[in-house]
Amino acid sequence: MHKWLWNALRLEFSLTPRGPLLIKAGMTSPDPSLPDMQFVRTMTRQGHTIFVPGSSLKGVFRSFTEKVLRTHDRACDPFDRERACGKKLQEEEDTATLYRESCRACKIYGNTRLRGRMAFADLFPEGQLKTETRFGVAISRLSNAVAHGPFDMEIVVEGSFRGSLRLGNFEVWQLGLLALTLQAVNDGLVRVGFGKNRGFGEVKIAPTAVTIDCCRPDVPADELWGTGRLVPEGERRRYGLQEDDSLSGLPAATDEVSMGAFVRRCYDPAGWEAIAERSLERLSQVLGVAT
């Protein structure tokens, strides 16, 4: 991570299941009245509640990002003992070198040597959720016999969750990858949780509010600058950033708040759509892919 915070994106969204959704609890409750596979719960001031851990969403986002980048040969395999960025890079390297030499997926989500820049908050129900219990069996592919089950599963079928993500010190192409991932989720290409091959896990993610903090209050109202444009020349080189890391011609923010050394610009969903579209163009440009 850079020493300073140059910019940061915060995206608030609602996540609505479009079919059965089950994020499995790691431990099964000893209560025999609860299903075998329970939806994960946590304790809040209001008592126990079903929730979607931010980490489970982050895992899904990362793996889609890797898939996209791998088609252009731009992401490491974190499980590859020799070639994963975290293995390849030496411990004594400074953060700038680690960042510069890491693949694009690791630049966003981190590796064993480099801290990630993307963070997901846990998602909590917005109003009432409707859950159902479904029964399932697993059939062994080899013997065509029941391999596991019957078991019952607790699934969410109605309602929605509210969550947020934060990306600090971003380059603009990273917003493009984020936009692409959100699109893939909404197209049903990326599913969340358990039972993807049972048709579970299709969700819709709708951004509700976006704020972009920037350390330069003099950035024109219709522009958005990534770290490559914001950092001094020496740092740009050490981190391997590009100077033309910015977007222009964006709709003005719905609100602008001065926060001392920072300016915070707030965008509505339409504003985010414009940022998403333009940052996707930037991503194609950076990856050298024709649109």
Give the residues lining the site for Zn ion (CB under 5 A).
76, 85, 103, 106
Q: How far is the CB of 84 from Zn ion (least distance, A)?
A: 6
Task: Compare residues 66 and 202 and give the one whose CB is closer to Zn ion.
Answer: 66
Q: How far is the CB of 132 from Zn ion (least distance, A)?
A: 40
Task: Compare residues 116 and 251 and give the one whose CB is closer to Zn ion.
Answer: 116
Task: Compare residues 31 and 73 and give the one whose CB is closer to Zn ion.
Answer: 73
Q: How far is the CB of 277 from Zn ion (least distance, A)?
A: 27
Task: Compare residues 42 and 112 and give the one whose CB is closer to Zn ion.
Answer: 112
Q: How far is the CB of 65 from Zn ion (least distance, A)?
A: 10
Q: How far is the CB of 111 from Zn ion (least distance, A)?
A: 5
Give the contacts of 267 (CB within 8 A, at least 6 positions apart). Answer: 209, 210, 211, 212, 251, 253, 254, 275
Task: Compare residues 11 and 75 and give the one whose CB is closer to Zn ion.
Answer: 75
Q: How far is the CB of 103 from Zn ion (least distance, A)?
A: 3
Task: Compare residues 106 and 224 and give the one whose CB is closer to Zn ion.
Answer: 106
